Amino acid sequence: MDKSQLLIREKLEKLEHQILSPLAAKSDESKGRERPEKPCHIRPAFQRDRDRIIHSKPFRRLKHKTQVFLAPTGDHYRTRLTHTIEVSQIARTAAKALFLNEDLTEAIALGHDLGHTPFGHAGEGALDRIHPGGFHHAAQSLRVVEILANEGKGLNLTWEVRDGIRQHTKGKAMPILSSEKDGAATLEGKLVRAADIIAYTNHDIEDALQAKLIRKQDIPAECLKLLGASHRNRINTMLSDLIEETGKAGQNRVVMSPAVLEATEKLRQFLFEQVYEHPAIAGEVEKATKVIHDLYRFFVKRPEKLLEVTGKKKLRFGLEQEVCDFIAGMTDRYALELFQRLFVPSPWT
């Protein structure tokens, strides 16, 4: 190996200290991995984590997992993968503008939804109700990168990436912004949570308009007036405001101006009331719930079938946890195919 190659990672690490903000996480100051390993001679630690996530099977499965519309057949509806890419783009833009660690930001963004179930939040809610330990996709995403991915060996990511994945969680009552004390430990992780909400608040509106669940005149006019009438303009307003206000604050927290934050919250509330709880979606949620619950009960009662379908020789964890992991990892289409195979009679040939 050429001696100059050995210095590439070290040069990049030194460059981080020269260029990045004092608030930025530095690759050579990471708290490390659960299992110590030899550093890469080219890539700093967070860049290596990003690459491991991109090359993992759970990441590839995101292309066939629901964002809002269950098992969509239209070419232009978002999937969990396209959502993840949009979150990454928004978060990286903010990180670069604030001179934060872009590799860490991207790694967290790309890994934040790896544990999501088939059928989006409908599947998550269904698993949460039937699994004795409960279920949340953020905790499952962490479980994926620590234990399940890489044929059960985990990806052995750095502490900072795992912390960002664990803390990205959001919900109807979850505030968009993180204070210095709550959310991820790094400012990069806090940025990803905000970017996640900015992304879905805008692209879910665009998908709902395409699906004709809502009309443009249904969207609160005051939000459009302040944030912008188009998807592009709204993201630009939200992101520009977040960058400017966070930069001025100069602290380990993400900040938006009161007016833009209020309009963003109002738009998100509109989505919950008019899109996520729309009768057309609610009907599909009931069907998705039945698929998840029937699959879960079937495999809990017949563990030998779980071994047969997964190709495992033995169960590594408790039966219910194994069933939960198996179902959470399914794509929409695989869950539907398996349900069809197990519960729908096949024509006699």
The 3 state secondary structure assigned to 118-130 is: CCHHHHHHHHHHH
- Confidence class for position 66, pLDDT limits 50, 70, 90: confident
> How many Å apart are CA 216 and CA 209, to the nearest integer?
7
- pLDDT tens, residue by residue, 33-44: 999 999 999 999
Give pLDDT tens digits for 139-189: 999 999 999 999 999 999 999 999 999 998 765 556 677 667 778 999 999
- Candidate CATH numbers 1.10.1740.10, 3.40.50.300, 3.90.650.10, 1.10.3210.10; the one for domain 30-280: 1.10.3210.10
264: pLDDT strictly greater than 60: yes
Residues in the chain: 349
Whether the model pTM is above 0.85: yes
Which residue is listed with tokens 């001025």?
Answer: 248
Q: Do residues 188 and 95 make contact, with C-beta atoms less than 8 angstroms apart?
A: yes
Structure confidence at residue 2 as a pLDDT band (50, 70, 90): low
Measuring CA to CA, which residue among 144, 130, 81, 168 is closest to residue 296?
130
Between the two ends of the chain, the Cα-to-Cα distance in Å is 62
Contact assessment for residue 51 and residue 44, using Cβ atoms and an 8 Å cutoff: no
Q: Which residues neighbour 12 within 8 Å (Cβ) at sequence distance 6 or greater?
A: 27, 43, 44
Written as one string, the DSSP assignment of 57-88 is HHHHHGGGSBSSSSS--STTS-BHHHHHHHHH
Mean pLDDT of the chain: 93
187-210 and 231-249 helices, crossing angle to 10°? 160
User: What pLDDT is recorded for position 255?
Assistant: 95
Collapse the DSSP code of 158 into the 3-class scheme (helix H, G, I; strand E, B; otherwise coil) and give the result.
strand
Residues 254/191, Cβ–Cβ less than 8 Å: yes
For 308, other C-beta atoms within 10 Å of its C-beta total 10
User: Domains of the chain: which residue ranges?
Assistant: 30-280
The encoded tokens of residue 131 equal 């699994």
Helix or strand holding residue 7 (H, E): none
Per-residue pLDDT tens digits for 204-219: 999 899 989 999 999 9
Position 6 scores a pLDDT of 60
**Amino acid found at 306:** L
Q: Reduced to 3 states, what is the DSSP secondary structure of residue 33?
A: strand
Q: Residue 235: pLDDT band by 50, 70, 90 thresholds?
A: very high
Q: What is the pLDDT of residue 340?
A: 96
Closest Cα partner for 309 from 325, 287, 293, 290? 325
